Structure 1
Amino acid sequence: MRKLWSASLVTASLIASAVLPVGTAAAVPGTTLASAAQLTGRYFGAAVQGYKLAAPAYTGILDREFDVVTPENEMKLDATEPQQGRFVFTAADRIVDHAVQQGMRVRGHTLLWHAGQPSWLVNLRGAALRQAMLDHVTQVVAHYRGKILAWDVVDEAFADGTTGARRDSNFQRTGDDWIEAAFRAARAADPGAKLCYNDYGIEDWAQAKTQAVYRMVRDFRARGVPIDCVGLQSHFDPNRPVPADFTTTLRNFAALGVDVQLTELDVVGAGATQAEDYRRAVTACLAVSGCTGITVWGVRDSDSWRSSGTPLLFDANGARKAAYTAVLDALNGGARP
């Protein structure tokens, strides 16, 4: 009699587990970075080099693991407007077309940056430069209207150091309102795209640069300037690891009513130490509901702008590293929306 009763309990337990409602938290974890991030309501993307889309070894990883792509260089000013008024979108279009075919979304990077400027723009001054700047924003954003998840409208406009000052760029010399003007032009060209300010060195809440960007975003939000998100580039290394207050930084920016995104994440290093820094960065994002996604700055170590530091989740041969496992585990342990 006892054996029959025990068997009945086992049967009942199996039946109960078989009829768990769809979407129960005990569901199957994500098996790729994108699928695991999606379970938390976030995206997981990668920076892409368009000429590598012809390589199956590259696209095999890209298409399997990521759901958002960021053109690494193809949308920058020198690439899209090499001569004033002559726009070239071929390379960027290739990336956007690939993303659409694969069901991915696109982060536009970047409209205005102090570096990577064509000579014609460098030689302009004053009102002529301001008008050329706004024309560029309008034309590029309009070309991709409806196809871009978020634009890095302005990149790296604040100086390093302890002053919290704006960078002394040619754009800055057209007037303090140049960033605001750029955001307003971008919104007019595509009301549906998220508009982001993107910078490095703003991950530590105690830094003057972080505080300066925070004050700008707070001011923009108070005055109705159309800013929707802040991109924290998140380039880490042994001399600049993930700060202890990273979650605080993300939370404080998000409290202004903007999304926060890790836009260029990479970690110089290897093995368990690198894996732990990646885990900490991802966990910080997962702790803040307003942190809507993460982009790593490349696919394989060999694709990285600092490849000698082996900073990415896949090695040069495309094999998953310990850092990959740490990120996937962190995503699968993240809170569901």
Structure 2
Amino acid sequence: MIPSGITRRSLLAAGAASLAAPARAQDLRTLRSIAAARGFVFGTAAASYELKDADFPPVLVGEAAQIVPEYEMKRGALEPQPGRYDFSALDTLFGFAARNGLSLRGHPLVWYTANPAWLKDSLAARRDERLLTGHIQTLLKRYTFASVDVVNEALMPPGSTQRGYRPSLWLAAFGPAYLDIAFHAARAAAPTTRLVYNDYGCEQGSAGNDRFRADTLRLLDGLLARGVPVDALGLQAHLTAFTDPVDQGKLRAFLEEVRARGLGLQVTELDVDDSGGSSDIARRDGAVADTARRFLDVVLDSPALESVLTWNLSDRYVDPPDEWRLKLAGFRYRKTPFDAAMRRKPLWEAMARAFAGRRAHLRL
């Protein structure tokens, strides 16, 4: 059932409006309008509880054209008992998006973690594909997404000593074919939605990252060779300001490999971890901004780029600070474009400059 006040038609119209409406005069210096003028979508992750803060919704609507749920679309939050869904939080978030002309991004349909406790036992008792496909169909028939992470983090991460597929209840039940099953089910339920494989670890330059880039391309090649309907690669882009710098050369070469395969590119969870840096806020903010700039200078140059989403807009809503960091310096993480008081930070300025400097590519 479509939630009250939200129809597939209204959600489609809201998404189209967010992409097509010309920027008003007062919007000319927002990330949303700068990105739109350069041919891609800017958006952010958010949660329904954040909308209760009076000063956040105006920032969200002014800066973002697209919204993705941080946690509230994960299966463990949605389906605590088999077939018994609680859509209240998602309906609140997506209803807000529809009323304010924001398109929707879905995250995630299939993940190795954040699943309800009952699901593992159910899959062990009966390896029924409907336990996978039914959830996908339920969400994609209820909501209309511009794009959706069909499968999230299927590969062993760059820091692992092992390679290949990440262990999961899905891998145990269906083998690697679970990806094929998921993407085909998603395409059947949502013929016009951009279907995305989403992961992290392609941005840095270590030997582990090199292996991960190769494994990611191998995974994509396999999907494409089997006729699996994958449309784009999602780069999570959880960057670090003081460790593991972005390797621009390796990232650029990797993105060209992705584009050569006919796939789109979406930056899905951009933030910059400032752990381990100076306690001086100006220095930390400068390092965060420079890290994002180095990353964006590469991805914005790709004709395949479709969207850039941050993992929230404001530091108010990032993970709480580690206890030792709080004791040492008394500060919060500063990962996002706005501080806890909803003021623009150097990261916002770096993103705005990078966005404005992009050529308005035609997608190839």
Normalising by structure 2, what TM-score? Answer: 0.81
Contact in 1 for aligned 2:204/2:244 (Cα 8 Å) = no
Distance 1:181 1:31 in 2: 43
What does the per-residue CA deviation read over 1:64-98, in whole Å, with 9 as the maximum and x for residues that have no partner?
A: 11111100011111122221111222211211111
Name the SS for the 1:125 alignment partner. Answer: helix
Change (3 A) 1:84 1:113: same
1:251 matched to 2:256? The reply is yes
- CA shift, 1:130, in A, is 3.4
- CA shift, 1:306, in A, is 5.9
Contact in 1 for aligned 2:196/2:234 (Cα 8 Å) = yes
Distance 2:128 2:199 in 1: 22
Distance 1:116 1:29 in 2: 37
Contact in 2 for aligned 1:199/1:233 (Cα 8 Å) = yes
Normalising by structure 1, what TM-score? Answer: 0.87
Residue 287 of structure 1: aligned partner: 301
Distance 1:247 1:293 in 2: 17
Residue 219 of structure 1: aligned partner: 222
What does the per-residue CA deviation read over 1:174-219, in whole Å, with 9 as the maximum and x for residues that have no partner?
A: 2220011000011111111111111111224752222112111122
How is 1:60-71 mapped onto 2 (pairs within 5 angstroms)? 60-71=58-69
What does the per-residue CA deviation read over 1:97-121, in whole Å, with 9 as the maximum and x for residues that have no partner?
A: 1111111111101111111111110
- CA shift, 1:131, in A, is 2.7
What does the per-residue CA deviation read over 1:141-187, in whole Å, with 9 as the maximum and x for residues that have no partner?
A: 1111xx20111011111112254310111111122200110000111
1:271 matched to 2:285? The reply is yes
| Total equivalences in the alignment | 309
Distance 1:306 1:191 in 2: 39
Residue 233 of structure 1: aligned partner: 236
Structure with the greater alpha carbon radius of gyration: 1
Q: Could you list the runs of 5+ residues in structure 1 that have no partner in the other structure?
A: 1-27
- CA shift, 1:241, in A, is 2.4
Name the SS for the 2:127 alignment partner. Answer: helix
Residue 185 of structure 2: aligned partner: 185
What does the per-residue CA deviation read over 1:297-318, in whole Å, with 9 as the maximum and x for residues that have no partner?
A: 0111121136543111111111
Name the SS for the 2:118 alignment partner. Answer: helix
Query: Share of identical aligned residues, percent?
Result: 32
How is 1:50-129 mapped onto 2 (pairs within 5 angstroms)? 50-126=48-124, 127-128=126-127
Contact in 1 for aligned 2:202/2:251 (Cα 8 Å) = no
Q: Could you list the runs of 5+ residues in structure 2 that have no partner in the other structure?
A: 1-25, 275-283, 322-331
Distance 1:61 1:116 in 2: 29
Contact in 2 for aligned 1:204/1:249 (Cα 8 Å) = no
Distance 2:226 2:128 in 1: 25
How large is the Cα RMSD of the aligned pairs? Answer: 1.9
The code of the aligned residue for 2:297 comes to T
Contact in 2 for aligned 1:250/1:291 (Cα 8 Å) = no
Residue 335 of structure 1: aligned partner: 359
Contact in 2 for aligned 1:44/1:67 (Cα 8 Å) = yes
Distance 2:319 2:260 in 1: 32
Contact in 2 for aligned 1:198/1:231 (Cα 8 Å) = yes
Name the SS for the 1:236 alignment partner. Answer: strand
Residue 303 of structure 1: aligned partner: 317
Distance 1:104 1:166 in 2: 35
Distance 2:95 2:238 in 1: 28
Name the SS for the 2:86 alignment partner. Answer: coil
Contact in 2 for aligned 1:279/1:327 (Cα 8 Å) = yes
Of 147, 157, 170, the residue aligned with 2:154 is 157
